[in-house]
Amino acid sequence: MLILGIESSCDETGTALIDSEKGLLAHRIHTQIDMHRAYGGVVPELASRDHIRRVLALTDEVLEEAGKTRSDLGAIAVTEGPGLAGALLVGISVAHAIGYALGIPVIGVHHLEGHLLASLLADPAPRFPFVALLVSGGHTQFMRVQKFGSYELLGETLDDAAGEAFDKTAQLLGMCYPGGPGVSALAEKGVSGAIELPRPMMHSPDLNMSFSGLKTAVLNAVTKAPNPEDPQFRANVARAFVDAVTDVLAAKAVRALKKTRLNSLVVAGGVSANKQLRARLTQEVEKRHGKIFFPPLSLCTDNGAMIAIAGLKRLQAMTPEELDACRKRWSFS
Which residues of this protein are in contact with ligand KG4, per CB under 6 A?
A: 136-138, 163, 166-167, 178-181, 184, 269-271, 273-274, 301-302
Smallest gap from residue 107 Cβ to ligand KG4 (A): 19
Axis-axis angle for helices 212-224, 162-172 (nearest 10): 10
Q: Which does 273 bind (CB under 5 to 8 A by kind): Zn ion, ligand KG4, none?
A: ligand KG4
* Residue numbers at the binding site for Zn ion (CB under 5 A): 136, 302
Residue 23 known to bind ligand: no
* Buried/exposed code over 273-305 (b: 16+ C-beta within 10 A; e: otherwise): bbebbbebbbebbeeeebbbbbbeeebbbbbbb
Please give the single-letter amino acid code of residue 111.
H
DSSP H or E segment with residue 29: strand 23-31
Exposure of 35 by Cβ count < 10 A (0-12 exposed, 13-18 middle, 19+ buried)? middle
Pairing type for strands 150-156 and 106-110 reads unpaired
Smallest gap from residue 2 Cβ to ligand KG4 (A): 26
Nearer to ligand KG4, 236 or 272 (CB): 272
Smallest gap from residue 295 Cβ to Zn ion (A): 11
Smallest gap from residue 286 Cβ to ligand KG4 (A): 21
Measure the CA–CA gap between 333 and 299, rounded to whole angstroms.
40
Q: Which does 62 bind (CB under 5 to 8 A by kind): Zn ion, ligand KG4, none?
A: none
Q: Which does 155 bind (CB under 5 to 8 A by kind): Zn ion, ligand KG4, none?
A: none
Residue 230 known to bind ligand: no
Q: Is the peptide bond before 126 cis (omega within 30 degrees of 0)?
A: no
Q: Which does 119 bind (CB under 5 to 8 A by kind): ligand KG4, Zn ion, none?
A: none
Nearer to ligand KG4, 264 or 272 (CB): 272
SS3 5: strand
The binding site for substrate comprises 134-138, 167, 180, 274
